[in-house]
Amino acid sequence: MLRYPRPLQRVIEELERLPGIGPKSAQRLAFALLKRNPADVRALGEALVALPEAVTRCQECFNYAEGELCAVCADPGRDRRLLCVVAEPADAMAIERANDYRGLYHILGGLLSPLDGIGPDDLTIAQLVDRVSRLQPAEVILATSPSVEGDATAEYLRQVLAAAGISNITRPALGLPVGAELDYADQVTLVRALQGRRAM
């Protein structure tokens, strides 16, 4: 039986471990790397090796950052009266791509999911409560995905934030279908959803 050389097989196996990459996609990517200029492949390898040390979490919002603060938290031009709460950094990037929101973000690090053993202590909810008490934002937007877990997380956060004295809590309403992920929504849909947000 024909087998791939061990170094190639190892690359395929490692690529398969990435989310959304199946055996065929991993094989296609590995073959594409073999066809690339060796310098390009080395540059990719160096970038991957440097990634864990070069990228940290923002000490303020928990987004990805190169230093203590991410680009949004370090930007004095951002509207600090608006705080948008999302599950993952990819969700914040999706909203940023829409180029309509100019406030701050808070990254939860996931969604509540009791079946998966993810509770409030596993997310940055305590840090969110501390942050809103310091910032006193005029509005907190709960932009979790409109899924069962996203809706449950938003409702839990609404209760926690209301108990902390935040009265203007909104949720994107228009344009996001139930079960959709924010990261896959187009810019127009995200703009309409943010502009049409509603109180919870």
In this predicted model, what pLDDT tens digit does every residue of 87-135 receive, in sequence order?
A: 999 999 999 998 899 999 999 999 999 889 999 999 999 999 999 999 9
C-alpha distances in Å from residue 183, one per residue of 42, 98, 109, 144, 171: 29, 11, 14, 11, 16
59 in any annotated domain: no
Q: How much is the average pLDDT of 159-172?
A: 92
Residue 9 has a pLDDT of 92
Residue 1 has a pLDDT of 59
96, 144: one domain: yes
Which parts of the chain are beta strand (E)?
56-57, 64-65, 79-86, 103-107, 139-142, 169-171, 198-199
Residue 63 structure tokens: 């987004």
Q: How much is the average pLDDT of 156-171?
A: 93
65 in any annotated domain: no
43, 95: one domain: no
Range of the domain at 95: 72-199
67 in any annotated domain: no
C-alpha distances in Å from residue 153, one per residue of 65, 119, 172: 25, 10, 14
pLDDT tens-place string over residues 50-67: 999 999 999 999 999 999
49, 79: one domain: no
- For position 160, which CATH number holds? 3.40.1360.10
103, 137: one domain: yes
43, 90: one domain: no
Residue 190 has a pLDDT of 79
39, 76: one domain: no
Q: How much is the average pLDDT of 181-200?
A: 75
Q: What share of the chain is helix, strand, coil (3-state, %, to 5)?
A: 50, 15, 35
Contacts of 11 (CB under 8 A, 6+ apart): 30, 33
95, 136: one domain: yes
44, 102: one domain: no
Pairing of strands 169-171, 79-86: unpaired
Tally of domains in the chain: 2
Residue 35 has a pLDDT of 95
